[in-house]
Amino acid sequence: MLLPAASITCGFLVGAVAIIAAGADPLQAYSALFAGAFTNNNAFAETLVSTTPYVLLGLGLALGFRAGLFNIGAEGQFYIGGLAGVFVAYSVHGLPAFVELPLALLCGVAGGFLWAAIPGFLKARFGAHEVITTIMLNYVSFLVASYLIDTPGLMLAPHVSTPKTPEIDPGAALPIIVPGSRLHLGLILALLAVPLVWFLIERTTIGFRIRAVGFNPGAARAAGISVGRTIVLTMGLSGALAGAAGIVQVLGVSHHMTDTVAAGYGFDAIAIALLARSNPWGVLPAALLFGALHNGAGFMQLETQVSSDLISIVQASVIIFVAAPAIVRWVFRLREQPVETVQITQREVETPVG
């Protein structure tokens, strides 16, 4: 707990230096950031709107980390999940909402699962490193999305000035839970996913397999656990959560998709999972932090003329400090912690026998 908190503090300190360098007052800027994220009218609800996809994506990344997999493709899986789900959500009409909504969600989740299972398979079968393949598949997914959305007769809505998909059927939309805001049911779904993923990792045989492979693939293999299958499954589940984030965003907020690349949620999620040290419960506060930064940045810019890009500096420094705990320990004179839970290492995967 101490180390992530210290890393965040360091991140804000670095941000403050940047603000001073830009000729503004960091205290003023940060208080505007805080107001924009929490205390302004409706600000907190908006922060939670931003937090929702972060929670799901962060869980997906954390799950991958537990198997020693670095899924950089969350951004693409987010997109594919959104595409798969939005297609269903604007195509179906007249079904009851309790059928339409789960169906659309399910398609989004399945889209993310299958898309992420591809790099999982490539790693398990051929030893292709998932960092490389997921990055490449990000580009593929962006281009697939813009092709589908820009092409008449595919997913392009008729008679629109900027390319986008048709609006979803109202029955498939996630209902608003705080009247007068944009806060939708997706937040509840994301909150439910936290204990679910925790249970999966810590209490089920699937989670045991994932952790065994993450800690020591050699010993897992010698004990008869199929490392390859576990990698495919874990990547799939990681992508399923990213896909869920994508479709929840569509059904809850935008109600359609455009061909512009997503807001980088999938990359922020890497930082969230690192900050959470791959613990599902830790994802919650980390996602809230990123949601707040995301949401408060605009008001900060409006009030103090400090560019909203500043939060990228804060986020980036937080990641650096999380990744380099030695610096933070030195700054805060913290003692070495013997057990590190996050493991991101390059591992060889031998092809399965038979």
- Could you list the residues that contact other proteins (CB under 8 A)? 203-206, 208-209, 211-212, 215-216, 218-226, 339, 352-354
User: Is 94 or 354 the residue whose CB approaches other proteins more closely?
Assistant: 354
> In angstroms, rounded to a whole number, what is the distance separating the alpha carbons of residues 184 and 254?
11
User: Is 93 or 203 the residue whose CB approaches other proteins more closely?
Assistant: 203
Amino acid at 313: I
User: Is 151 or 204 the residue whose CB approaches other proteins more closely?
Assistant: 204
Smallest gap from Cβ 219 to other proteins, in A, equals 5
Q: At what angle do helices 97-126 and 74-91 cross, to 10 degrees?
A: 150
User: Is 176 or 225 the residue whose CB approaches other proteins more closely?
Assistant: 225
Containing H/E element for 302?
helix 280-304
Smallest gap from Cβ 215 to other proteins, in A, equals 5
User: Is 278 or 301 the residue whose CB approaches other proteins more closely?
Assistant: 278
Question: Token pair of 315, please?
Answer: 């986020």
Containing H/E element for 75?
helix 74-91
* DSSP assignment of 112-124: HHHHHHHHHHHHH
> In angstroms, rounded to a whole number, what is the distance separating the alpha carbons of residues 13 and 16?
5
Smallest gap from Cβ 240 to other proteins, in A, equals 17
> In angstroms, rounded to a whole number, what is the distance separating the alpha carbons of residues 72 and 93?
35
Smallest gap from Cβ 340 to other proteins, in A, equals 10
54 and 60 Cβ atoms separated by less than 8 Å: no
Closest CA to 171 of 103, 117, 225, 236: 103
State the sign of the Cα–Cα–Cα–Cα dihedral 60, 64, 65, 70.
negative
SS3 168: coil
Smallest gap from Cβ 209 to other proteins, in A, equals 7
User: Is 162 or 205 the residue whose CB approaches other proteins more closely?
Assistant: 205
> In angstroms, rounded to a whole number, what is the distance separating the alpha carbons of residues 156 and 333?
57
Backbone angles phi, psi at 344, to 5 degrees: -125, 100
User: Is 175 or 218 the residue whose CB approaches other proteins more closely?
Assistant: 218
Smallest gap from Cβ 226 to other proteins, in A, equals 7
User: Is 170 or 352 the residue whose CB approaches other proteins more closely?
Assistant: 352
User: Is 294 or 347 the residue whose CB approaches other proteins more closely?
Assistant: 347
Smallest gap from Cβ 216 to other proteins, in A, equals 5
Smallest gap from Cβ 191 to other proteins, in A, equals 22
Closest CA to 18 of 288, 286, 275, 304: 304
Smallest gap from Cβ 203 to other proteins, in A, equals 6
> In angstroms, rounded to a whole number, what is the distance separating the alpha carbons of residues 255 and 89?
9
Smallest gap from Cβ 205 to other proteins, in A, equals 5
CB atoms within 10 A of CB 352: 12
User: Is 72 or 227 the residue whose CB approaches other proteins more closely?
Assistant: 227
Residues 6+ apart with CB under 8 A from 39: none
